[in-house]
Structure 1
Amino acid sequence: MTKETAESPSSLSPAGSNEKVENAPCSQAERFESVRRAHQSEMAEDYVELIAELIAERGEARPVEIAEHLGVSQPTVTKNLARLKRDGLVIHAPYRSVFLTDEGKELADICRKRHRIVVNFLKALGINEAIAEHDAEGIEHHVSEETLAAFEAFTVKA
């Protein structure tokens, strides 16, 4: 994954997991940069997915609700919303609700689909729903498209 590709909002899902081993960064600094990009992508995915859920439930997503749901401070939410706004994923003005741009909606849809596939796969393995939901939160960001397709194929057969 090139730096240009890694930073475009449409390449945020999954969080850096499509890099091939043969393209892995060589230096320690490059490896750390790759991890930082993956964490930023994971944050973006979590935020847009939550914002979409709040909008669907309540018609809007307020920063205070985002902070409560994610268990972070309001200043952290404000900082991350500024990053998402810069990346073209949200529309947000101070002291106002947050809304998704078309790109943000697209990313949220992708994230929800990935989440659903991982949850269904874990449930097909016999994991109870609560644990499957919890575990899917971590797995969904780090699974390749190939693995995700295998998860989905497995659940169709099951």
Structure 2
Amino acid sequence: MGNRNDFYTQKGYELHNTDDLTASMEDYLEMICRMLKQQDIVRIQELSERLHVKPSSASKMVNALKERGYLSFEKYGYLTVTPKGREAGNYLLYRHNVLHEFLCLLNDSENELEQVEKIEHFIDRRTIEHLQALLDELNSSTAFSQ
């Protein structure tokens, strides 16, 4: 993009994004990885139910992730993540957890899921790393003050 001080619309920033994954793809991959932490296999039907989408929509997105090398299919329609998918998925889960912990602390709440889901695609790795460092600092200073 042009000068770092130039303003663009959200769509303008999206059009210049060079990431391989769209926000929707990230949501699907994140959910698949979340499910695989809780169970051995994931099927498209289960994925569609967890994301509240039609199985046909989930199937299209899974195919797009497969074409980009993030997923593979096993017998009986089981979804598995490739090493590339596992690496990306682990980061997506980490990003989600950092943002959730930060927003819960900031808002003195137990659950900020909706806000996290709305903003997580728009924050870069550097910001996530700095938020984690801030959380670590806040948590260590809180532990000393108790």
Residue of structure 2 equivalent to 1:140:
120
Per-residue CA distance 1:81-124 (angstroms, 9 max, x = gap): 11001000000268511110110000110001111111111122
8 Å CA contact 2:69, 2:82 repeated in 1: yes
Asked if residue 123 in structure 1 is aligned to residue 95 in structure 2, the reply is no
8 Å CA contact 1:25, 1:31 repeated in 2: no
8 Å CA contact 2:72, 2:79 repeated in 1: yes
CA RMSD of aligned residues (A): 3.1
Partner Cα distance (2:17, 2:121) in 1: 14
Residue of structure 1 equivalent to 2:38:
57
Residue of structure 2 equivalent to 1:6:
none
Residue of structure 2 equivalent to 1:86:
67
- Choose from 84, 106, 121 the match for 2:87: 106
Identity %: 24
Greater CA radius of gyration, 1 or 2? 2
Deviation at 1:47, TM superposition (A): 1.1
Partner Cα distance (2:7, 2:107) in 1: 37
Deviation at 1:157, TM superposition (A): 2.1
- Choose from 38, 50, 66 the match for 1:69: 50
Residue of structure 2 equivalent to 1:11:
none
TM-score by length of 2: 0.77
Deviation at 1:153, TM superposition (A): 2.3
Three-state SS of the structure 2 residue aligned to 1:128 is: coil
Gaps of 5+ in 1: 1-18
For these two proteins, the number of residue pairs brought into alignment is: 136
Three-state SS of the structure 2 residue aligned to 1:140 is: helix
One-letter amino acid of the counterpart of residue 98, structure 1: L
Deviation at 1:44, TM superposition (A): 1.8
